[in-house]
Structure 1
Amino acid sequence: MKFDLHTHHFRCGHADGNIRDYIEAGLAAGLAVIGISDHTPYFGRVEDQPFPQIAMGKQAFAGYVEEVLKLKQEYAGRIDVLLGIESDFFPEHVGAYRNTLNQYPFDYVIGSVHSVGEVSIFNKNRWKGLSREEKITSKESYYDLIRQSARSGMFQILGHIDAMKGNYPAFTDIPAAQAIDETLKTIAEHGIAIEINTSGKTKLSGGWYPDDSILERALHFGVSVTFGSDAHTPSRVGDEWEEVARRLKEIGFHEWVYFKNKQKITVPL
């Protein structure tokens, strides 16, 4: 059974197409389940959209939910449309995010760390001039935020947990094995899934998030895994699903999961 839980659309300001386009692409790709999971608005400031082309505006949020729920009904029996959302994690704004997200009937919420020290994880310039020790500190800070997100109770899925390598492939070689293991243990303890996200191919790093070494450790610690293309254009819906399934089986996984009504559903590989 094929599924894809991570898709975007025009409301976030940096994706193409509308929600129906992604659902139709899911049907064409043979998906049984598609999750719509655009970026939440930024709830840490009062402006409607303080960061255009990064996240949807607050005024668009209710309409987003309404449209997904309407399409869920329309496509019932053809493809299971799930109401998801991708939420940033900012420790200082946890209350605002939690209170807002709890007002809506999400099937799942993806928690993603997109910035460390108020700088985007994808900003390759953040690494310029840093010493080895400073790079290690940055990587450890990234995984500390991911651990905090796992403990927050807000998320069913954690998104692209090594995406900091996206525009800085050398990130993978920065030593932080203990931080990664602690993060995976925390994720397992809280029953959260991590996604295998195939959008890394659109960045300098290429490949998937996370890499095989992290997936092997995730299996060791009993972390559940799920699939997300992180499609920002309909043509990428379900992208490399079969390849990911095959690689997970080679690593030793026997199942993966998706979430409906925030309940984990297991699917054999």
Structure 2
Amino acid sequence: MKFDLHTHHDRCGHAEGVIRSYIEAAIAEGLQVIGISDHSPYFAEEEEQPWPGIAMAKSEFARYVTEVLTLKEEYRDRIEVLLGVESDFFPEHTDIYRQIYERYPFDYIIGSVHRSDGVSIFNKKRWEGLAKAEKVRQKELYYDLIRQSAESGMFQILGHIDAMKGYYPEFSAIQTEAVENTLRIIGENGLAIEINTSGKTKHCGGWYPSDEILERALFNGVSVTFGSDAHIPSRVGDEFELVKQRLKEIGFKEWVYFRQKAPVAVKL
């Protein structure tokens, strides 16, 4: 059973290809389930599309949902298409996002922190000149946002939970109890974390999250799922089998995908 819950398309402004291209790529890769989860608009901003190269326009959101649902029906005999979205998490705007998401029949919502302390987690300059104590503080701020996202009740999956290492691999070595505490909260709230293979496209290489975090996730009863975070169709399902084998080695017995916001367990 092969699935991929994290894919994008050209609406977000930084991915290539239309939704159909990702579905066809999934079929070619032998997947039985493909989730479409493009970046949510910035719903709390006044502008229609404040950052065209990052996320879709607000007016495109309903069209996005309609297109996925149409393709779900069209491909029903060839592959299961799931309606998802990758949502930014801004604690001060949760009510706005929640009210909008409740209007649509999502199979799952991925909650991802892309900005912490007002700066993109992928900003290559954010670590320059920081003392050790400030680096610890920045990591703790990031994981506090992830903790809040786990407690918000908005999401089924948390995306790339150590992606701050993307352009700063040293991030993983910053010691703080915040990671363990956040994993405990994630487990208590019954969310899944994704193994996201797009880390290989950044300076850190490899996947999000690290093996160390996955081991602690298992200890804390956290479910796991798979997402390529494909921004080009050819990356759909990328390294699925390698991830599956690694999870077995760590000690996981199953992973999950989501249908109508309910987990579907798949034996590893």
Question: Which TM-score band applies after superposition, normalised by the shorter structure?
Answer: over 0.9
SS at match of 2:126: helix
- Residue 224 of structure 1 aligns with which residue? 223
User: Aligned equivalents of 2:117 and 2:92: distance in 1?
Assistant: 12
SS at match of 1:86: strand
SS at match of 1:127: coil
User: Aligned equivalents of 2:215 and 2:25: distance in 1?
Assistant: 31
User: Aligned equivalents of 1:63 and 1:199: distance in 2?
Assistant: 27
SS at match of 1:44: coil
User: Aligned equivalents of 1:14 and 1:54: distance in 2?
Assistant: 6
Alignment deviations for residues 173-204 of structure 1 (CA, whole Å, 9 cap, x no partner): 1112x111110110011100000000001100
Which letter maps to 2:191? I
Which letter maps to 2:222? V
**Is 1:16 aligned to residue 16 of structure 2?**
yes
Alignment deviations for residues 18-50 of structure 1 (CA, whole Å, 9 cap, x no partner): 000000000001000000000000012121101
- Residue 6 of structure 1 aligns with which residue? 6
- Residue 183 of structure 1 aligns with which residue? 182
Which letter maps to 1:112? S
Which letter maps to 1:80? E
User: Aligned equivalents of 1:158 and 1:125: distance in 2?
Assistant: 25
Alignment of 1:205-220 (within 5 A): 205-220=204-219
SS at match of 1:215: helix
Alignment of 1:123-138 (within 5 A): 123-138=123-138
User: Aligned equivalents of 1:110 and 1:59: distance in 2?
Assistant: 20
- Residue 75 of structure 2 aligns with which residue? 75
**Is 1:102 aligned to residue 102 of structure 2?**
yes
User: Aligned equivalents of 1:92 and 1:218: distance in 2?
Assistant: 27
Alignment deviations for residues 38-74 of structure 1 (CA, whole Å, 9 cap, x no partner): 0000012121101110000001100000000000000
Alignment of 1:59-74 (within 5 A): 59-74=59-74
User: Aligned equivalents of 1:80 and 1:173: distance in 2?
Assistant: 40
SS at match of 2:125: helix
Alignment of 1:15-94 (within 5 A): 15-94=15-94
User: Aligned equivalents of 2:255 and 2:58: distance in 1?
Assistant: 33
Which letter maps to 1:234? P
User: Aligned equivalents of 1:218 and 1:40: distance in 2?
Assistant: 27
Gaps of 5+ in 2: none
- Residue 194 of structure 1 aligns with which residue? 193
Question: What's the CA shift for 1:118?
Answer: 1.1
- Residue 152 of structure 1 aligns with which residue? 152
User: Aligned equivalents of 1:218 and 1:166: distance in 2?
Assistant: 20
Alignment deviations for residues 89-148 of structure 1 (CA, whole Å, 9 cap, x no partner): 001111111111111100000000001011000001000111000000000000000000
Q: Normalization by structure 1: what TM-score?
A: 0.99
**Is 1:245 aligned to residue 244 of structure 2?**
yes
Q: Normalization by structure 2: what TM-score?
A: 0.99
**Is 1:120 aligned to residue 120 of structure 2?**
yes
SS at match of 2:87: strand
Runs of 4+ with deviation above 6 angstroms:
none
SS at match of 1:124: coil
- Residue 268 of structure 1 aligns with which residue? 267
Which letter maps to 2:261? K
User: Aligned equivalents of 1:149 and 1:51: distance in 2?
Assistant: 22
User: Aligned equivalents of 1:196 and 1:162: distance in 2?
Assistant: 10
Which letter maps to 2:26? G
Which letter maps to 1:226? T
